[in-house]
Amino acid sequence: MLEVGTKAPDFTLSDKDGNAVSLSDFRGKKVILYFYPKDNTPGCSRQAQGFAALNAELEGKNAVVIGISKDSAASHKKFAQKYELPFLLLSDPELQAIQAYGVWQEKKLYGKVSMGVVRSTYVIDENGVIEKAMPKVKPDSNAVDVLAYLAGE
């Protein structure tokens, strides 16, 4: 994970419609950048639904939500439509942002070791500096925890 107070690495990735989106496009707003393992899996679906449910409140705090996984743009499009996700999902099959943000890590599942995305969230301030790093977040409470942080709780 990157440290709080460091400049957030810029990136340019494709959204679900193939449009190029850069982190620097959002200067002047807070960015809730969350990394998740895979579209349409139970935990990732609950996490996305949590952010969708709180999207209006997060936008009210001058924040935008961006989800990143290594899934394809086509996969993101189906995922966003299925759950009516009102925020950006970016595709990172080359692991450009995933590795830059330190969330591509060794994982253990049932004794098997593999590399994968560790579910993590960053809050990036209006000037592109990391103000909060949340490693190994829980899918069911991630959005609520971020909103509580932005509300100063």
- Assigned domain for 130 exists: yes
- State yes or no: is 44 an active-site residue: yes
- Assigned domain for 4 exists: no
Q: Report the pLDDT value the prediction gives residue 153, as an integer from 0 to 100.
A: 86
Q: Report the pLDDT value the prediction gives residue 114, as an integer from 0 to 100.
A: 92
Q: Where residue 125 sits, what CATH number does that domain have? A: 3.40.30.10
Q: Report the pLDDT value the prediction gives residue 5, as an integer from 0 to 100.
A: 98
- Assigned domain for 65 exists: yes
- Assigned domain for 7 exists: no
Domain that holds residue 58: 12-150
* Structural element, H or E, at residue 100: helix 96-100
Total domains in the chain come to 1
Q: Are 34 and 66 in contact (CB under 8 A)?
A: yes
DSSP for 25-90? GGTTSEEEEEE-S-TTSHHHHHHHHHHHHTHHHHHHTTEEEEEEESS-HHHHHHHHHHHT--SEEE
Q: Report the pLDDT value the prediction gives residue 98, as an integer from 0 to 100.
A: 98
Please state the pTM of the whole predicted model. Answer: 0.96
- Assigned domain for 17 exists: yes
Per-residue pLDDT of the chain (153 residues; tens, 9 = 90+): 899 999 999 999 999 999 999 999 999 999 999 999 999 999 999 999 999 999 999 999 999 999 999 999 999 999 999 999 999 999 999 999 999 999 999 988 888 999 999 999 999 999 999 999 999 999 999 999 999 999 998
- Assigned domain for 6 exists: no
Q: Which two tokens stand for residue 29?
A: 């707003």
The residue annotated as part of the active site, out of 8, 13, 31, 44, is 44
